[in-house]
Structure 1
Amino acid sequence: MSNADYSNWMGNLPERLTKVPLGHLAIPGSHNSFTSTLDPSLGVAVDQSESIQNLGSSCCGAVTKIIQRWSTNQSMAMLDQLTAGIRYFDLRVCKKPDTEQFHFLHGLYGDNVKSLLGTIKTFFEDNPKEVAILDMNHFYNMEPSDHDRLLWEIEDIVGDLLVPVNGYQYKLWSLTLANIWNHPGRIILIYHNPFNAATFPKIWNKNVIQSPWPNTSSKESLVDFLETNYTEKKRPPGYTFYVWQGCLTPGTGTIALRLCCSLENALARPATTAFVNWVKNKAPGEYRINICLVDFVEMADFIPVVIGINSQSSGSFREQMTEDIFAKEYMSDHQHTKL
């Protein structure tokens, strides 16, 4: 990976790109983002079947070690990813059984949600022109009351940094860096479980993002899937977020035949290389590239390549809208928003 500093890459964009909707920028993202700290000692997580959980508790750690090798999608910790330039995070969350604590997970349990939120807050206080998307899209062992409690926990820690929905929800073309910078929010939190929008006005629902899943263990099929979606403009027009997934998915047979191998070496390395080779000649914009998602983001110059293709952006006619109109609409809505 390049030695360039990407901790403030959004703040260093040309002015014209700060007026382009975020849905039309190329944004590097990580798949199963916070899995570098999966802990086999905590046992098999609740996203696995009951039979796998039972097997994991009765095999002296052998099963959990295999799960760790095939469930770890990132080797970089969250703060390192932010510093390296990652601005989209793909998150799975659970309430850990027999506790009241929320954890990130994928096969095994990872970090406590509350602890990482504090680190996220510090990063954005130190880098005030950066904006990130936290996409909480899978939940396990959580009742409606648990969702409320998690959202209040998030509000309590990073509420002042959340970008509110009011002012943007019906005019996503105005969700630009330039407009966001005029207000305190720097984190767009997308939550894929139903919640009370009146109670949590700074939480975005799942309708603002699409993420087609290639669902293949073949890098050739992966590239064909991406190329078809790109050339046939299968991305819907508009300003919502769209994820281009550069990840391969192991089947049961793949893992069974390679128990001593890992996701990183067996699938992620060829997939990330193939994805970078595919995306480097593409352009961001309507119908085109937006969020790019891979495993092990440090591979194959993924981050600098994705950030670099923003230079190929043609911009958007919406950037001609006056800042005065936006400011008037935003402030009218924002006056009614409470933390």
Structure 2
Amino acid sequence: MLLVPLILFLQIADQANSQTQKENTNPCGQLYLTQSPNKKKNIQLNWNFNCDDPPDTILLTLNDIRTNPNAQVLYTILPRSVFRGYHETPFTLKDAPFPGNWTEDNSNPDLNAGCFDYYIASAKGDKIIHSQCLSIQPTWMSNFGDLRIGDLMIPGTHNSGAWKGAPLLIRNYVLNQDKSIWQQLVYGIRYFDIRVGRYGNTSDGSRLYINHAFIKCTELLPELQSAATFIRKSPKEVIILDFHRFPYPNDFKIQYHNEVVRMIQSVFGDLIYPFYRMTHTRGPKLKEFWLTKQRVVIAHRNKEMSRVATFLWPSVARDWGDVQKVQDLETYVKYVSESAAPGNPMRVLMAELTPSYVSVLKHVTRNLKDLAVMVNRELSDWVRQNNRSANLNIVATDFFTGNDIINVAIESNFKRLTNFYT
């Protein structure tokens, strides 16, 4: 009885968005590409084989070797008995343009764009088992109009605006990302964890920055303008800007909050979906956002401001483990995914390590990139195992191109959509 609906669903999914990664169809487990957070952005091979007769070769190719037998093979490894692994190649994506001309100044990017030229492939003998490209996902939400914002799995970033700036001496422990808000959006990130600092005074002209703690990183206005530009180019995407903290100055006065809110209103205007319109505990369906053309959710931690500016959503409920070891974060991620609590209507799992003063002193040469690499190698598998992704709403990470959480979310949402229709 379920065979026909399932076949129909897969046909619809193929037609709807050819570049979106659907439920994993690799017969031997997981196979995907990531990027190192180092300066060169080296391409990384990732695999987790679970079939009885696993592939004996993993390839990095230019173009898809399944459809183009003459695709150039750039790099080859033989995993042998290593069924689950990670390998960094010398090839790099640094300065590579986005597919489909997804630049801020292009008024008409290709909404169907998806793949960079790089593919990972697995083979057994001379038979190609599976291949998958390194991709952008600028329109992935267009597949999921019937799902509510609180029922989706949404990829996000932690300290989203901390991608440049900060004094050189402490930069390694301040920057959590290496992509701008614009780039994060094009890749597929839809939740942004924002902390604001205010500098200067009213008479001299104050300036608002995105901070990491008391350290200023990027100016707030250009980042918001980039988000508004993206949302106008991609007509079915919904983004969540969670103004979670206001760390500088320590006494972030109500008039400073008003400055932030006025800037938000000036940039997004009628793109903002107001909280007072929400009527369902799990939030609106994506197609409700599309109908109103209001596709920006502004969450704000200050309750006094929420009473004044009624369009503000409450700060997104947050699960933060505050742990320093990978095994402790694994335990926490699994605990949260297996005991999922309702959100308001959203809930975010902060899936990153938090260095303590003691750990910094013990490992003076280690930095946030090192911590992210340790987590990102494991995170996608933690969430995929035992269908844990089914119980997660938002997952926010550091240096997100080092994990596969965007594709994990898309896979999970296709499963949820299947359950919705069957």
Give the shorter-chain TM-score range.
0.7 to 0.9
Runs of 4 or more, structure 1, over 3 Å off, are 195-199, 314-317
- Alpha-carbon distance change, 316 to 199 in structure 1, aligned in 2, over 3 angstroms: farther
Amino acid at match of 1:201: T
Using the alignment, how far apart are the partners of 2:372 and 2:343 within structure 1? 31
- Alpha-carbon distance change, 268 to 125 in structure 1, aligned in 2, over 3 angstroms: same
User: Is residue 304 of structure 1 aligned with residue 375 of structure 2?
Assistant: no
SS of residue matched to 2:140: coil
Using the alignment, how far apart are the partners of 1:239 and 1:316 within structure 2? 23
Residue among 142, 159, 177 paired with 1:74: 177
User: Is residue 279 of structure 1 aligned with residue 383 of structure 2?
Assistant: yes
Using the alignment, how far apart are the partners of 1:81 and 1:201 within structure 2? 28
- Alpha-carbon distance change, 197 to 245 in structure 1, aligned in 2, over 3 angstroms: closer
Contact map agreement 2:157 2:189 (CA 8 A) in 1: yes
Residue 273 of structure 2 corresponds to 163
Using the alignment, how far apart are the partners of 1:237 and 1:197 within structure 2? 21
Residue 165 of structure 2 corresponds to 38
Contact map agreement 2:148 2:285 (CA 8 A) in 1: yes
The size of the alignment, in residue pairs, is 283
Residue among 195, 204, 207 paired with 2:313: 204
User: Is residue 191 of structure 1 aligned with residue 307 of structure 2?
Assistant: no
Residue 90 of structure 1 corresponds to 193
Residue 241 of structure 1 corresponds to 346
SS of residue matched to 1:259: coil
Residue 138 of structure 2 corresponds to 7
Amino acid at match of 1:173: R
Residue 330 of structure 2 corresponds to 223
- Alpha-carbon distance change, 134 to 309 in structure 1, aligned in 2, over 3 angstroms: same
Using the alignment, how far apart are the partners of 1:174 and 1:32 within structure 2? 24
Amino acid at match of 2:254: P
Shift of 1:238: 6.5
SS of residue matched to 2:365: coil
Residue among 213, 221, 226 paired with 1:119: 226
Contact map agreement 1:26 1:291 (CA 8 A) in 2: yes
Using the alignment, how far apart are the partners of 2:307 and 2:195 within structure 1? 24
Could you say which structure has the greater relative contact order, defined with CA pairs below 8 angstroms and 6 or more residues apart?
1
SS of residue matched to 1:180: helix
SS of residue matched to 2:396: strand
Using the alignment, how far apart are the partners of 1:23 and 1:315 within structure 2? 17
Contact map agreement 1:191 1:203 (CA 8 A) in 2: yes
Q: Residues 303-325 of structure 1, C-alpha deviation per residue, up to 9 Å, x if partnerless? A: 222322222226777x99xxxxx
Using the alignment, how far apart are the partners of 2:303 and 2:343 within structure 1? 23
Residue 328 of structure 1 corresponds to none
- Alpha-carbon distance change, 239 to 143 in structure 1, aligned in 2, over 3 angstroms: closer
Residue 241 of structure 2 corresponds to 134
Richer in helix (by share): 1
Amino acid at match of 2:312: I
- Tell me the C-alpha RMSD between the 2 structures: 2.2
With normalisation by structure 1, the TM-score equals 0.78
SS of residue matched to 2:303: coil
Using the alignment, how far apart are the partners of 1:154 and 1:74 within structure 2? 22
Contact map agreement 1:90 1:134 (CA 8 A) in 2: yes
Q: Mind listing any 5+ residue stretches in structure 2 that lack a counterpart?
A: 1-33, 35-132
SS of residue matched to 1:172: coil
Amino acid at match of 1:190: A
Residue 150 of structure 2 corresponds to 23
Richer in strand (by share): 2
With normalisation by structure 2, the TM-score equals 0.63
SS of residue matched to 1:24: coil
Residue 373 of structure 2 corresponds to 269
Amino acid at match of 1:39: A
SS of residue matched to 1:248: coil
Using the alignment, how far apart are the partners of 2:380 and 2:395 within structure 1? 10
Shift of 1:124: 0.6
Amino acid at match of 1:5: I
Shift of 1:38: 2.2
Q: Residues 165-187 of structure 1, C-alpha deviation per residue, up to 9 Å, x if partnerless? A: 1220x423351101110012111
User: Is residue 172 of structure 1 aligned with residue 262 of structure 2?
Assistant: no
